[in-house]
Structure 1
Amino acid sequence: MPRRFCLLLIALLWLPAAHADDAKRRIHVGYYEFPPYSYTDAQGQPSGSGLELTARLLEQAGYQAEFRSYPGARLYGGLIDGSVEVWTGASGKPELTEHTLEGRHLLGEITLNLYFRHDTPPPRVPDDLNGRGVILITGYSYWQEVNRWLEDPAREITQHRTASHTSALEMLLRRRGDYLLDYQTPVDEARQLLGMRELPFIEVQRLPLKLIFSRRAADAERLRDELDRAYEELEEAGEDLWLP
């Protein structure tokens, strides 16, 4: 067989495989603004320890991460319809249970706290919130139990929404709300940016972080299994994969 013909045949056979591999390698990863785990930096680029870990696991499994930021409701909608393939987030959300698969490995934990001022006595949750103002972050969602007492008309809880953790802390200190319901890690980061001392708080919930896969993503079970194996390979190699 002439050498030129052989090279041409190899090229023709290789091109479809290369295109298929390129299609496989791009995995659409959704996130919402939750510093320091996931956020869009000053240059408009995805950043944060959670996104770095996700990209590392995808790379180990032979994929390439393609990140996009969403508001919380749109992120969940994307996981339901398959337009978002992977999310590194809180495990066990009831509204996602039927529509998603979860990775086997625990990546970290996030803690939801109720913060209050130093001159405020520790509240009994949720009864001492009755008739009071609670500061919340716009776009964040909470477990059904928390939503029930926030939305219960009998409790007459006034919700004060704001877009950032720093403004939420400032609102609390300026008495524009009685309590702040927020997650510990982004609050700690915002507090340090403001040069603010620690605030007292009551722990409301502790939530596990895992890889969440849309069931409607192509080869969802295979993708989950490959990323589980990637985690195990990196862990065996001695890499620290825990999200602090």
Structure 2
Amino acid sequence: MPRLFLAALLACFCCASAQTQAADTLRQVTVGYYEFPPYSWTDENGQPRGSVLTLTERLLRHAGYRGVYRSFPGARLYAGLQDGSVQLWPGAGGKTELRGHTLEARNHFGGITLALYYRKDTPKPKIPEDLVGRGIILISGYTYWKAVNDLLDDPSLNLTTHRTSTHQAALEMLQRQRGDFLIDYQQPVEQVLKSMGAEPLPFTVLQSLQLRFVASRHAEGSATLLNALDRAYDELLAAGADLNVR
């Protein structure tokens, strides 16, 4: 009996050792992400979660890599892509700050929508004329694309901006009339409204963007990595896998 137990224990040890060695042979990739539920966030135990990160790891593993995930505010994530300390970002391309510093994958795996939210007692605004002199609520740490930044920076609109750290706080500010409009991404807003048991808010779409992998030009092997991820996407899709995130 002791011999059988010892044999089983050794078999388990050898199996675990083989799995560890197999994981060690995978090339490591530093993946940066936003706190952007339900697509990406950090749980109470400090672990990365979300449909985008799950898909990212699935594609990395298929391509022979493994991810090391780090959460960043927007400006620090872009700085990491600019200096190569962050190799990969599963996000949306076309950021002005990243021009010349990044490469983008061919495939996309979903989309995000940036919207202007308003209270139900507020008429649907015409943009930009109905924003003149109004208060806009923004999420600290988020950055936007050029058209929206130009709108926010337009001196003729005389906008007042109010910043807060969470989507729930931003929605509460809007409901308490501590701002006239909220600029935020549709996916996290819908999740927070659902968790609050609140009714949907009216909104106007400002921009819709495709999600794809963005890699730093300054990290060695990034072009090879993106090609491998595109190939992994094509192979899994051909095998019938559902690769769109929700």
C-alpha distance in 1 between matches for 2:218 and 2:99: 13
Match of 1:192 among 191, 194, 201: 194
Match of 1:138 in 2: 140
User: TM-score, normalising length from structure 1?
Assistant: 0.89
Q: CA offset at residue 118 of structure 1?
A: 0.5
Match of 1:236 in 2: 238
C-alpha distance in 1 between matches for 2:25 and 2:76: 24
C-alpha distance in 2 between matches for 1:157 and 1:142: 16
Match of 1:120 in 2: 122
Percent identity (aligned):
56
The aligned amino acid for 2:54 is E
Q: CA offset at residue 135 of structure 1?
A: 0.5
C-alpha distance in 2 between matches for 1:22 and 1:222: 19
Q: Does 1:46 align with 2:62?
A: no
Match of 1:162 in 2: 164
Query: Root-mean-square deviation (CA), in Å?
Result: 1.5
Q: CA offset at residue 127 of structure 1?
A: 1.8
Greater shift, 86-95 or 72-81, is seen at: 86-95
- Structure 1 residue ranges, 4+ long, deviating more than 2 angstroms after superposition: 21-24
C-alpha distance in 2 between matches for 1:80 and 1:55: 23
Q: CA offset at residue 156 of structure 1?
A: 1.1
Q: CA offset at residue 153 of structure 1?
A: 2.3
1:54-78 Cα offsets, whole Å, 9 max, x none, are 1111010111110000110010010
C-alpha distance in 2 between matches for 1:211 and 1:178: 35
**Which runs of 5 or more structure 2 residues have no equivalent in the other structure?**
1-20
Q: What's the secondary structure of 1:217's corresponding residue?
A: coil
1:35-90 Cα offsets, whole Å, 9 max, x none, are 11111112111111111111111010111110000110010010111000000001
C-alpha distance in 1 between matches for 2:227 and 2:152: 38
Match of 1:58 in 2: 60
User: TM-score, normalising length from structure 2?
Assistant: 0.89
Aligned length: 226
Match of 2:71 among 59, 69, 72: 69
C-alpha distance in 2 between matches for 1:79 and 1:22: 25
C-alpha distance in 2 between matches for 1:115 and 1:39: 23
